[in-house]
Copies of this chain bind each other. A is one copy, B any other.
Amino acid sequence: MTAPTDQHDSADLNRDRDLQAALRRLDETEQAARDRLFEFLRIESISTDPAYHHHCLEAAEWSAAQLRDIGFEASVRPTEGKPMVLAHWRPTDGEPKPHVLFYGHYDVQPADPLEEWDTPPFEPRLAEHPVHDEVITARGASDDKGQVMTFIEACRAYIETSGSLPVAVTVLLEGEEESASPSLGPFLAEAGDELKADIALVCDTNQWDGGTPAVTAFLRGLAFSEVTITGPARDLHSGLYGGPVRNPIEVLCGMLGELRAPNGRIAIPGFYDGVSEPSQEQRDEWQSLGFDEAGFLAEIGLVEPAGEDGYSLLEQLWARPTVEINGIHGGYTGVGTKTVIPSQASAKISFRLVPGQDPQQVITGFHQFIDQRLPRDARAHFNGEGGAPAVGFDMSSAPFQAAAQALQDEWDIAPVRLGCGASIPIVESFRNALGMDALLIGFALPDDRIHAPNEKYNLKSFVKGTRSWARILSAFAGMSDDA
């Protein structure tokens, strides 16, 4: 779209006026927004426990009603499991606008152990926090109801002040995020056309610290396999056969003990093919964060970083691939002793991948690694394999740059470009099913105790989260004008 400069300037002015109005509205109605969030938090929408099914339905209806209330066309769509909430706000002025898809989830984790909560998990309240001033405590406060409401409240403030949103918005709220999203794939396949937007905004991640926003820019990929080593045709008495018979547990241990070289490099053929070093700029940025490695390790009872030589802890987590043995099993594992040489032993292995690695090639390399070490009279069998490549967002893209500037405007500090060591399935789903990139912006904190007793969400995260989304929506509209 090309526009004469004066119209451009005038559009900019209008956009800024609308934004300032929305921000003022957010400040003035903060208490009402908080009340709405508390209403949402009182619904016990635990998706993993069938006893709470009707609470999940209630949460879906409640969110749809919220969206309808501010002018979205909202519906609760049945699935085989918990319903999806799908809502659209379409521009009324006929102007073409960027279209964003906002994603969040209305379901929460179970609250037990209940006795470890200081106050009941579904009775939200404001509490003083030793580090973060005021926090909202309740199950789901951070994961993900508080984060969902940052976005919906931004839309409400915009519509209530300007009668309109600066971009076209679709909202998708899922009710099974905490139970592995079984209905998401089928729903994306079925409703894909309705969901397709220019970019997805996923609000289920962290900021860097209480005063610093973040955009998650790297997600490691995953490849996984289960290897079973078979030796003798049946379990044997270790007295009557021990010595001349190769023990499959020992064979398996011998192999897995060689997965990593002493310097921490992974010894699988071709494993590092296509892997790039993090850029010096990126390394410097992460270095400058002053990440507390000792504190991170102390929290899990450890003292020193292990892993690959020559990389900081954050670099290892965000920009380097790894292999993990997630489970191993063989022989007798009950109480006491049983002197058996088992016929089989197996291990579940997974790889965290970085951009450039192909999950299938990694699995093929793992097969080679095992096969090369397989002694005579032992066989290897692989199953349960799969994976997804890593995601590295293009940080020079217009949406990334626009969102980063908007966050800086709100927080007075540039957002940190975080990595995330884990994959986020929704990002892959949007990529694979809808061919759509995502921006991962959230206001949670590592100490929010998600999935644990006394979950909290900083009040500041909530308040500035709503304001951040208002700014990002405005910035996206500007990005369109500049395009």
Interface set of A (CB-CB < 8 Å, partner B): 220, 222, 224, 226, 231-234, 236-247, 249-250, 252-260, 297, 300-308, 313, 316-317, 320, 322, 324-333, 336-342, 345, 347-348, 350, 352, 375-377, 384, 420-423
Contacts and interface: CB of A to CB of B under 8 A. Distances in A.
A438 B448 CA distance: 68
A411 to B, nearest CB: 24
Contact of A341 (B253, B257, B326, B337): B326
B246 A306 contact: yes
26 contacts: A234-B300, A234-B301, A239-B420, A239-B422, A241-B421, A242-B322, A242-B421, A243-B307, A243-B316, A244-B306, A244-B307, A244-B317, A246-B307, A247-B325, A249-B256, A250-B259, A252-B253, A255-B257, A257-B257, A324-B339, A326-B338, A328-B330, A328-B333, A331-B348, A336-B384, A338-B348
Contacts of A376: 303-304
Contacts of A341: 324, 326
B331 A337 contact: no
Contacts of A327: 249, 330-333, 338, 340, 342
Given A257-B250, A326-B339, A384-B337, A375 B242 contact: no
Nearest to A260: B250
A92 B125 CA distance: 94
A278 to B, nearest CB: 13
Contact of A320 (B243, B313, B330): B243
9 closest Cβ contacts across the A-B interface?
A: A239-B422, A233-B301, A257-B257, A327-B331, A243-B316, A254-B257, A253-B256, A246-B306, A329-B333
Nearest to A339: B350
A238 B348 contact: no
A442 to B, nearest CB: 15
Contact of A422 (B237, B256, B352): B237
A245 B325 contact: no
Contact of A244 (B254, B255, B316, B345): B316
A253 to B, nearest CB: 4
A70 to B, nearest CB: 35
A339 B253 contact: no
Given A232-B301, A303-B377, A328-B330, 5 more contacts: A237-B422, A242-B317, A242-B322, A243-B316, A250-B260
Contacts of A238: 322, 324, 326, 350, 352, 422
Chain B CB within 10 Å, residue with most, of A307, A322, A423: A322
Contact of A257 (B256, B347, B420): B256
Nearest to A243: B316
A302 B253 contact: no
Contacts of A326: 238, 249, 331-332, 337-342
Given A243-B316, A257-B250, A302-B232, A337 B333 contact: no
A226 B335 CA distance: 10
A270 B11 CA distance: 84
A250 B377 contact: no
A348 B337 contact: yes
Contact of A332 (B240, B316, B345, B348): B348
B232 A300 contact: yes
Contacts of A232: 300-302
A316 B342 CA distance: 19
Chain B CB within 10 Å, residue with most, of A305, A339, A420: A339
A104 to B, nearest CB: 20
A268 to B, nearest CB: 14
Contacts of A253: 252-254, 256-257, 325, 328
A335 to B, nearest CB: 8
Given A239-B422, A250-B260, A257-B257, A245 B306 contact: yes
Contacts of A330: 325, 327-328
Contacts of A222: 239, 339
B257 A324 contact: no
Nearest to A352: B242
Nearest to A239: B422
A159 to B, nearest CB: 37
B422 A236 contact: no
A39 B258 CA distance: 59
B233 A220 contact: no
